[in-house]
Structure 1
Amino acid sequence: MYATAKDGTKLYYETAGETGSPVLFIHEFGGNYDAWEPQMSAFARRHRCITYAARGYAPSDIPADLDKYSQAIAVDDAIAVLDHLGIEKAHIVGLSMGGFATVHFGLSYPERALSLTVAGAGYGCEKETEEYFRGVSLTVADKFEADPEGFAEIYGRGASRVQFENKDPREHLKFVTRLARHDKIGAANTMRGVQARRPSFWDLEDGLKACDLPTLIMVGDEDDHCLQPGIFLKKTMPASGLLVLPKTGHTLNLEEPEMFNRHLAEFLAMVEAGAWGRRDVRADPGQVMRTD
C-alpha cells in the first residue's frame, strides 16, 4: 500500500483498526514504520492507526537527490499519507526525527491535527551544541553511506540507546538489526537533508507560542539532549504537558512500551473528552507563593 508525495515519491504505509479517531505514527531516524508495532497493536483496538516508512526508508522510494529531503518535505509527506487515506484530521505521534516532524506538522498544518505527541525530540536544538550536532550528523551520514551494517552496531549503542539494551536486550537486538537494514543512500540523505538542516525549537518560538493544539511531550531522563528542549516546549506551547520517564533513554516507545502506551492512551482520551486545554492563567510561572 503506497501513498504518493507531492514530488511523486512513493510512501509505503500500513494501517490497523477501522473505527475510532485516526492516529498517525511517524518514526525516528533509527527506526522505520515497523518500529511502531507495540503501538499499532495496542491502539488499533480503539483507533484507526497508520504508520509509514519515510522517504529514504524501504519499502518507500529512496530518492538519490539530496534536494528531495528536508524538514518541510517530511511534513508534506505525512500530509500526503493522510490525504491518500481520506483523513481530514488525526492525532500525530512522532519519535525523535518523527517528533520534529510532528512539531512542524502542528505549525504548518494545525487544521489537520487533533493533537500532537512529541517524544524524544530535541537533538541539535540546544544553541550551545547546535553546530556540533550539524557536524556530527554529516559524519553519521558518511559512516552509514560507507557501511550501514557495521555502523549500526556503533550507532545503536549510543549514550541514549544503552538503556534500552540493558532493559531488554532481545528487543534492542531487533532494533539494531532494523537499523542495519537502512539503505545507505536513504540514511545518508536523511541525515544531510533533514537532520543537519532542521531549525532549533528556539528558532520557532513565536510559532510555538501561537500553537493551541493539545500537545504531550515525552522525554527520557537519560536522554540528555532532549531534556532541555522538552522543557522549552512545555514552557512555550500553551496547551502542552511534559512527561519525563525515569531511567529511560531515547527509544521511548520500544524501551518502555507499557508506560508509553498508558500515558498516550490517557492523553488521547483527555483530548477527545475536551479535558486537555491551555494552561490555567492563574498558574503564573513567575509566582513562587501567592501573598495577596
Structure 2
Amino acid sequence: MTATNDKVNKSRRDLLVKASVAASVVATGGMLNQVQAATRNECGIPGKVEPNYVKPPKQVPAKEGVIELPGGAGLYYWDTGGTGPAILLSHPGRGSALTWPYQQPVFAAAGFRTIAYSRRGYFGSPAGSKEDRGNYADDILALTNHLNVDKFHILGLAAGGFAVSDFAVSYPEKLLSMVIACSLFGRWDQNIEERSSFILSKGFHDLGPEFKELGPSYRWAYPEGVEEWLNMYKKSQGDGVRHGQPAKSKITWEKMRAANIPTFFVAGGADLYQPPSMMRAAAIELPNSETLVVPEAGHAVQWEQPELFNRVVLEFFKKHS
C-alpha cells in the first residue's frame, strides 16, 4: 500500500514539474532557447565564489586608422585582420573603440577578424560639421567598405545598439548575425521614455558614471577594474565635441522581423538602465531571437564578466558564420 502511494505521489510531482516548466515557457514567450539552456546552469554564481576579475589581457597587433567622412568628420578604427569572419563592435555612449580590451585578443584568437570603431566625436574620431552629421548606418557602411568587408557579424553595446538597429534595417543583406547587449536597440517611444523615467530616480543622471554603468558587486569586489574602466571612459570622450547622429531609417519591429537576422540579446542582471525585463520585452518582438541574463552584471556586461560574455557571444557567432 505504501509503495503504491509513493508511486502515485511521484507521478503527481512529475506532472506538476512538467506543468510548471510548460507554464514558464508560455509566460516568457517561448524564450527558453538553446543559448539559455546551454548556459543557464553555468551562469549561476555560487554564494561563496566571486567571479574571476582580472586586468585586461595583452592586446594582439591591430591595424589602426581614421577614414575621412564629409564635413570634416572621421572614424577611428582598429582591425586585427585575418581571413576569418569579421565582427564589428559598436560601442556604448560612455565608450569608444577603447571599450573592448577584454574582447579584442579573445575574439581574434577564436579566428575572427575583429574590428572596432569610434563614432563621430569619440576617441580618435573628428566630429566634423554640425550641419553634416551623417547617420549611423552609412558611417558603418563607409567603414566596412573601406576595409573591404562584405558580410559580417555585429555587436552593439548600450547606445551602440542604436547604430546596430539602424544598420540592420538599412542594409540587412550585409549582416550574418547581431548581438545586442544592454540596449534598447534603437526603439524609443513615449511608453519606453515614461517607463525609463519611472525606474531611474530623480537626480540619477547627476551620479558618477561608474555608479550608473557598473554593477555594485563589481565595484565592491574589484575597485582596480573600476579605475581601469574610468580611465577608458575619460579617454573615450575625446575632445568633448559631439553633435549626435540621426538614424538613416525609421526603425520598426516589422522591419526587424522582415530582415530576419539571427539575433542574441544579452542583459545584465544588475543593469539600472536596461534591466532584464526591458530586454525581454524587446526579445519577444523577435520570436526567433536568443536571450541571456548575466547575473550581477551592470550596464557594462562585457567589462564586468568578460569570460562568460565572450564564450556565449563567440558560440553564437560561430553558429551563424
Q: How high is the TM-score relative to the length of structure 1?
A: 0.74
Equivalent residue number for residue 31 of structure 1: 95
Equivalent residue number for residue 210 of structure 2: 156
Q: 1:110 aligned to 2:172?
A: yes
Alpha carbons of structure 1 residues 91 and 256: separation in structure 2 relative to 1, 3 Å: same
State how far apart, in whole Å, the 2-side matches of 1:115 and 1:91 are: 5
State how far apart, in whole Å, the 2-side matches of 1:122 and 1:160 are: 18
Letter in 1 for 2:124: P
Alpha carbons of structure 1 residues 51 and 214: separation in structure 2 relative to 1, 3 Å: same
Equivalent residue number for residue 49 of structure 1: 114
State how far apart, in whole Å, the 2-side matches of 1:186 and 1:87 are: 29
Q: 1:255 aligned to 2:304?
A: yes
3-state SS, counterpart of residue 54 of structure 1: coil
Question: Would the aligned equivalents of 1:33 and 1:51 in 2 still touch at CA under 8 Å?
Answer: yes
State how far apart, in whole Å, the 2-side matches of 1:231 and 1:269 are: 23
Letter in 2 for 1:26: S
Equivalent residue number for residue 170 of structure 1: 224
Structure ID, larger Rg: 2
Equivalent residue for 2:279, pick from 230, 253, 264: 230
- Cα deviation, 1:42-62, whole Å, max 9, x if unaligned, reads 011201111111111131112
Following superposition, the deviation at residue 93 of structure 1 comes to 0.8
State how far apart, in whole Å, the 2-side matches of 1:89 and 1:228 are: 32
State how far apart, in whole Å, the 2-side matches of 1:198 and 1:228 are: 28
State how far apart, in whole Å, the 1-side matches of 2:172 and 2:66 are: 24
Equivalent residue for 1:11, pick from 71, 75, 81: 75
State how far apart, in whole Å, the 1-side matches of 2:171 and 2:213 are: 34
State how far apart, in whole Å, the 1-side matches of 2:150 and 2:271 are: 34
Equivalent residue number for residue 212 of structure 1: 260
Equivalent residue number for residue 130 of structure 1: 193
Alpha carbons of structure 1 residues 7 and 86: separation in structure 2 relative to 1, 3 Å: farther
Percent of residue pairs bearing the same amino acid type = 27
Following superposition, the deviation at residue 232 of structure 1 comes to 2.5
Question: Would the aligned equivalents of 2:215 and 2:270 in 1 still touch at CA under 8 Å?
Answer: no
Unaligned runs of at least 5 residues, structure 1: 135-139, 144-150, 273-292
Alpha carbons of structure 1 residues 126 and 84: separation in structure 2 relative to 1, 3 Å: same
Question: Would the aligned equivalents of 1:212 and 1:238 in 2 still touch at CA under 8 Å?
Answer: no
Q: 1:241 aligned to 2:290?
A: yes
Question: Would the aligned equivalents of 1:92 and 1:115 in 2 still touch at CA under 8 Å?
Answer: yes
Following superposition, the deviation at residue 76 of structure 1 comes to 1.6
3-state SS, counterpart of residue 18 of structure 1: coil
* Matched residues, number: 248
Equivalent residue number for residue 154 of structure 2: 92
State how far apart, in whole Å, the 1-side matches of 2:98 and 2:91 are: 9
State how far apart, in whole Å, the 1-side matches of 2:213 and 2:89 are: 25
State how far apart, in whole Å, the 1-side matches of 2:135 and 2:221 are: 35
Q: 1:60 aligned to 2:125?
A: yes
3-state SS, counterpart of residue 84 of structure 2: coil
Unaligned runs of at least 5 residues, structure 2: 1-64, 198-202
Alpha carbons of structure 1 residues 106 and 268: separation in structure 2 relative to 1, 3 Å: same
Comparing 172-181 with 78-87, greater Cα deviation is found at 172-181
Q: How high is the TM-score relative to the length of structure 2?
A: 0.68
Alpha carbons of structure 1 residues 161 and 127: separation in structure 2 relative to 1, 3 Å: farther
Q: CA RMSD in A?
A: 3.1
Question: Would the aligned equivalents of 2:169 and 2:249 in 1 still touch at CA under 8 Å?
Answer: no
- Cα deviation, 1:217-258, whole Å, max 9, x if unaligned, reads 111122144233421332122431011111111101101110
